[in-house]
Amino acid sequence: MSSHSFSSPPARPDALRASFHKASLGLLFVGIAGSVHALATDPKRFGFAYLVSFVFLTTLGCGGLGFVILQHVSRAGWSVAPRRQAEWLAGVLPLAIVLFIPIAVLAGTIFGAWMHPHGEHLKLLTHKRPYLNPTFFCIRAAICLLVWAGLAWFFRTSSKAQDASGDVALTARMQKWSAPSLLLLGLTISFAGFDWVMSLQPEWYSTIFGIYMIAGSLVSAIAVLAIVVTLLSDHGAFGAVCTKEHLHDIGKLLFAFTVFWAYIAFSQFILIWYANIPEETVFFKHRFEGSWATGSVLLLFGHFVLPFVVLLSRHGKRNRAVLLGAAIWMVLMHYWDIYWNVMPNLDPAGIKPSLIDAATLCLFLGVLIQWFARRMAADNSYPVRDPRLAEAVRNVNL
């Protein structure tokens, strides 16, 4: 590796940053006002809606962190150009420590099925009590949040420090710690999925649910990466550093992880369907009844079939408008995936959309977009002194 830098710093996307800032303020205003009203009038609905949006944001952040770590593990050169935006996305994870507080406060309401069991639940959960208890739940949540925040801080600050110093040793350090970091990230995402989503239906279990959460995190984070990189490219933030070739590569990753998510989701379903064990099939019972059955079909076609068809061709991956549209759609589908996993525990009879759901989503989208606006103002759009930057510039898809 040899140090390489461009003589002129990357342009600041001031117009895009201003648009992000204004949009985030509007979303935050609606989200905060709506959430406060919802908490006062319907705390249970608010708790579940807040959990959906919280898991949505944290999985995006974990997916961004996973993307960054994977690039260091594989010592990839092409991804140096768009890697900074993945570092920004991972940077929301320290904020999740504060955003988790309402879930901790409302835990008895959200996770009442195992925190306050009765009837058949009480007998069933007796042997799960050493794991499913409030104290251990909070300890595990703290471990996950602190690990994510620490890893996000380490990789983002190391990358930014290299912008200033050009020290190649920083790249070597990030590569050194990438493999154990990837292991930590995989384990913590899995346990967070067990605790925050799977335990809502405590009689149910799935040994593949952890990798299901990891797959959703990666595909949604790559979709966000495609959106932000496309917008920044359109506003000249990269110059000649990030081109259509890089967007093509991001499109290929989005396509690949869409297929990976579908494979994991189908594996979970087919094994449960084939075994036909009551403790496992209970998960799909409500999701195949009433309007939730329609929601399940939407997940199948929206999260897999449609993006598969759109992104299958080379043209779909290289066309900016097509890629941007597909990426926005996949972010929406990731939210629906989390909603589909969580909300049948509150509304088992069918889908009951609420303004409370929209308010919490606005709140978390406002936080995410405001964070990106701040990073655009403070950071370079790409790692300007990364030793593999020249390799990234030469990237070509044959």
pTM for the full model? Answer: 0.95
Q: Under a CB-based contact definition with an 8 Å cutoff, are residues 35 and 363 in contact? A: yes
Backbone φ and ψ for 121, nearest 5 degrees, come out as: -60, -40
pLDDT tens track, the chain, 398 positions:
444 445 466 778 999 999 999 999 999 999 999 999 999 999 999 999 999 999 999 999 999 999 999 999 999 999 999 999 999 999 999 999 999 999 999 999 999 999 988 766 677 788 888 999 999 999 999 999 999 999 999 999 999 999 999 999 999 999 999 999 999 999 999 999 999 999 999 989 899 999 999 999 999 999 999 999 999 999 999 988 999 999 999 999 999 999 999 999 999 999 999 999 888 899 998 899 999 999 999 999 999 999 999 999 999 999 999 999 999 999 999 999 999 999 999 999 999 999 999 999 999 999 999 999 999 999 999 999 999 999 999 999 87
Residues 225-275 have pLDDT tens digits of 999 999 999 999 998 899 999 999 999 999 999 999 999 999 999 999 999
Residues 312-344 have pLDDT tens digits of 999 999 999 999 999 999 999 999 999 999 999
* HSE-CB for 308 with a 13 A CA cutoff: 13
Beta-carbon contacts of 247 under 8 Å, excluding residues fewer than 6 positions away, are: 226, 229, 230, 233, 317, 318, 320, 323
Q: Give the Cα-Cα-Cα angle 386, 392, 393 (nearest 5 degrees).
A: 110
Q: Under a CB-based contact definition with an 8 Å cutoff, are residues 256 and 100 in contact? A: no
Residue 186 one-letter amino acid: G
Handedness of CA 131, 137, 140, 141 (dihedral sign): positive
Residue 254 one-letter amino acid: L
DSSP 296-332: HHHHHIIIIIHHHHHHSSHHHHH-HHHHHHHHHHHHH
Burial class (CB in 10 A: 0-12, 13-18, 19+), 207: exposed
Q: Under a CB-based contact definition with an 8 Å cutoff, are residues 302 and 333 in contact? A: yes
Beta-carbon contacts of 377 under 8 Å, excluding residues fewer than 6 positions away, are: 12, 17
Whole-number Å distance between alpha carbons of 237 and 231? 9
When computed from its CA atoms, the radius of gyration of the chain, rounded to whole angstroms, is 21
Whole-number Å distance between alpha carbons of 110 and 44? 7
